[in-house]
Amino acid sequence: MQEVGVAYEPVHLLRCHSKEDDPNDTMTNVWKCAFEPNPEQPGNSTWSVATCGSNIVCVIDCKTGIVLKKYQHNKEKEEFYCIAWTTLEMDIDGKKKATNILAAAGTKGTIKLLHPQQLLCYAEIKMERKSKPVNCITFHPSHPTWLICGSEDIVIWDIGTPQGTDFKCRHRKLLNLSAPGRVLGLIAVPSADFLLAGCDNGCYGWNIDTNAFSKREKNYSLEFLLPSKARLASAINDEGEDDEEKEGDMIDGLALLKDQLIASKVACDGSIHIWSLKDARTVKKGTQKDVTIKPVYSLEWCDSDSVYLDIGTWPGCGVLVSGDDQGEVWVYDVFKQAELAESAKIKGPFKPNQLLPWPESRDEEEGEKEEGKEKDDLEDRIIVNDVSISSDCKYIVSVTNKNLVCVWQKA
């Protein structure tokens, strides 16, 4: 667990996802960022981070601010929405070596498997619903070749291990899960053989028997009813609407803090809730298909009407990060807040330990002066789509709707 009492300062501001290499491109969304795992130290990250936006995937060195690798997909129009790292044991020159592989997916409904060191897309997996975009992907922590993909359903693939100098591999579909809504976020919880999905109409979970996959599409095992203003208002008004007719909340933030401790965010709700998956599954009765979540504690977040603003962490580091639609990064010392919640019986909402304001770049300042626009103008607003933190909490990276990647370093 790391301390976050020391302030962070911005050290690098990069514009590296420009369409057609236009240096003046300020409109491209950079959607996701993910720190590269350390292949020599399992459970830890390096100081390199992958980012995706437009048809480009970059790998950036946070210490120097240098773009180490850049993959650009030019065969067909693509916009990458999501990326995920895994570490595979590859046979290199007759010796087994831990090697990082990066997966990327987006609008085309296909998954690209990249070997970052070779700057090579060595394989492509086509989803059955190719016309539907892939919104989120994650690798299973205990099965590094298992890639879980979220679109309008969920598919678990075994991507195999690349062999030889031409990285030949075979992939196969393991399981198809029927999702009640469009999937926006995924968490695999290996200690519980469970998969969580944040969808545009609620939070759902599946029991996953990793030893016996079925060829039949599997429906969700549980729906988790998370606290929200809309749910509270509905309960107060009690208009007599059937539960089946009620539309669930959009879950646009989902993160695994440690083991079965989950952080989730309902879009436009002003709070982040921390809750126990183990406790939630324990209170389930019989064939009951939904469970009302009682948070361990809650975090104060901004009052925003923007959606798809994800939350991020590195499992076990003790820090949660999230961006807003004003360019700010919210930093929470979640393990300390958990101790306070337990000792003082306080449920929160706890304020962020730090609030990092957006570092105004020179061209932005001049642009505002020349055009006479207010900072709060919707078109000029910097929206932080995603935030990631390194395992040692030394670096925080935020990516935005303005084709900008900001690297923060612990002072």
142-151, pLDDT tens digit by residue? 999 999 999 9
- Residue 215 has a pLDDT of 76
Residue 235 covered by a domain? no
The reply to whether 279 falls in a domain is yes
* 381 vs 326: CA distance, rounded Å: 6
- Residue 35 belongs to what H/E stretch? strand 30-37
Q: Which residue has the tokens 């290499």?
A: 21
pLDDT of residue 286: 78
Q: Is residue 3 part of a domain?
A: no
Three-class secondary structure of residue 105 per DSSP = strand
What is the chain's alpha carbon radius of gyration, rounded to the nearest angstrom?
21
Domain count, the chain: 1
pLDDT, residue 376, reads: 52
Residues 205-232: tens digit of each pLDDT? 999 987 778 778 899 999 999 998 777 6
Cβ contact 15:25 at 8 Å: yes
Q: Is residue 280 part of a domain?
A: yes
Structure tokens at 219: 């429906």
Among candidate residues 372, 366, 394, 398, the one with its CA nearest the CA of residue 385: 398
pLDDT of 369 reads: 47
Task: State the DSSP H helix or E strand holding residue 236, giving kind and residue range, or none if neither.
Answer: helix 229-237
Q: Where in the sequence is the domain holding 68, given as residue range(s)?
A: 8-230+246-410
| Residue 325 within any structural domain of the chain | yes
pLDDT of amino acid 21? 87
Residues for the chain: how many in total?
411
Order the strands of the 95-106 sheet from edge to edge. 80-92, 95-106, 110-115, 120-126
CB atoms within 10 A of CB 107: 17
Can you give the CATH number for the domain in which 93 is found? 2.130.10.10
The token pair that represents 7 in the structure block: 């302030």
Confirm whether 177 is domain-assigned: yes
Instruction: Please check whether residue 86 lies inside any domain of the structure.
Output: yes
Dist CA 301 CA 397 (whole Å)? 19
CA–CA dist 19, 23 (Å, integer)? 9
Lookup result for tokens 């065969």 = 75
Instruction: Give residue 272's Cα distance to chain centre.
Output: 15
Q: Is 175 exposed, middle or buried (0-12, 13-18, 19+ CB in 10 A)?
A: buried
Q: How many CA atoms lie within 13 A of 336 on its CB side?
A: 14
The H-assigned helical ranges of 283-360 are: 334-344
310: left (phi over 0), alpha (psi -120 to 50) or beta: beta
361-399: string of b/e by CB count within 10 Å (b at 16+)?
A: beebeeeeeeeeeeeeeeeebbbbbbbbbbbebbbbbbb
Amino acid letter at 393? Answer: C
The residues of the chain scoring below 70 in pLDDT are: 1-6, 129-130, 232-247, 361-378
* Beta carbons of 187 and 229 less than 8 angstroms apart: no
In a domain, 236, yes or no: no
Closest CA relative to residue 327, chosen from 290, 347, 302, 348 = 302
CA distance linking residue 250 with residue 201, whole number of Å:
5
